[in-house]
Amino acid sequence: MQLDFVVKDPIVRGALALFPAFSDAPAAPQYLTGPEAEAAGVLHVSEQGSGAVPELVVHNSGTEAVLLLEGETLIGAKQNRTLNVSLLVPAGTHLPVPVSCVEAGRWGAPRAIARSVRHAPSDLRRLKTRGVAESRRAGSGPRSDQGAVWDRIATYQRDLAAPSATGALEDVYGFVDNDVAHVVGELTPLPDQRGVILAIGDTVRGIDFFDKASTLVAYWPGLVQGYAVDALRAQRADMTIADTEAFIAQVLSAEATTADAVGLGQDLVIANDAVTGNALQWEDAVVHLAAFASPTAPEQPRPGRRIDRSRWVD
């Protein structure tokens, strides 16, 4: 995968460090983001037939493709789900999409479906993305390890003392909303910023990169809330630009396999001992790259200057 990045000094909030990433990589043709499509009334989601846990159906009634992101959460239906991969829904189509359940204790009468304003936390996304890569390698398509997803949500409930009668990730968010808002409530992306490298404590956790700065702006509130959940009980951030560059080098140098995308374009699947991720490509552009460091990955050398925290408000 050929991408060039420029990484700049981070915003630090306690254990959370957000490194802005910039690039001159080409942009894809015009599309609507999920928030834009929802506001325009052209995005509709329903159960597949009488309902199937790992699949929902998305209808794009508009005249442009709609981008939906891996980790977006759709609340309602027979249970809350999160998208397994990023995808572009063609204009005027119904598209079955692979999802994971993020509400283990409910399978009941359908409720109205809406996009949650909150993205799934980064560690849950990492586990899910790893499971999807393994499923694809086994020839089973973009399915997650559903048990691992439920276990991780249960861990959030336990670690954050967040009760939920149905094991719902959305209830965890509701319980820690004030803490999350304290961490990221006032943050905004920089002009022309197209990506974020996430570090928590002394570890680079992952990257979200887009073909357009406007796409990052659209998804920023949900993404940073997801990042903050994993940082709530972590140690203070202590990472450098050099750390993020080493992580990016691992992502870009990793062997990637091509897979059929759900919708327009194609997927590049990254899965090795150090990183796991997926890049949605369309018309020679990387529309969304989401990659995560494996917790067993060897620690990288950490040369370079340290963060001057006096420049940031905790």
- Separation of alpha carbons 187 and 167, rounded Å: 29
- Separation of alpha carbons 203 and 19, rounded Å: 13
Q: Give the tens place of pLDDT for each residue, 178-197.
A: 999 999 988 999 999 999 99
Would the pTM count as exceeding 0.85?
yes
pLDDT at 94 over 90: yes
Q: How far apart are the first and last CA of the chain?
A: 36
pLDDT score of 39: 95
Query: Which residue from 72, 172, 86, 168 is spatially nearest to 132, judged by alpha carbons?
Result: 86
Tokens representing 31 are 């599309």
- Separation of alpha carbons 168 and 223, rounded Å: 18
Q: Give the tens place of pLDDT for each residue, 214-223.
A: 999 999 999 9
- Separation of alpha carbons 259 and 240, rounded Å: 34
Among 48-57, 79-88, 248-257, which stretch is predicted with the lowest mean pLDDT?
48-57
Query: How much of the chain exceeds pLDDT 90, in percent?
Result: 83
Query: Which residue from 285, 260, 292, 245 is spatially nearest to 2, judged by alpha carbons?
Result: 285
> What is the 8-class DSSP label of residue 229?
H
**Confidence label for 296 from pLDDT (cuts 50, 70 and 90):** low
- Separation of alpha carbons 282 and 177, rounded Å: 35
Radius of gyration, CA atoms only, the chain:
18
pLDDT score of 50: 79
Counting Cβ atoms within 10 Å, is residue 18 exposed (0-12), middle (13-18) or buried (19+)?
A: buried
> What is the 8-class DSSP label of residue 209?
E
Mean pLDDT over residues 156-162, rounded?
A: 95
Residue 174 φ then ψ, to 5°: -60, -35
Domain extent listing, the chain: 6-294
CA atoms within 13 A on the CB side of 27: 11
Helix, strand or coil, per DSSP, at residue 72: strand
- Separation of alpha carbons 86 and 280, rounded Å: 7
- Separation of alpha carbons 41 and 145, rounded Å: 32
Q: What is the largest CA-CA distance in the chain?
A: 56
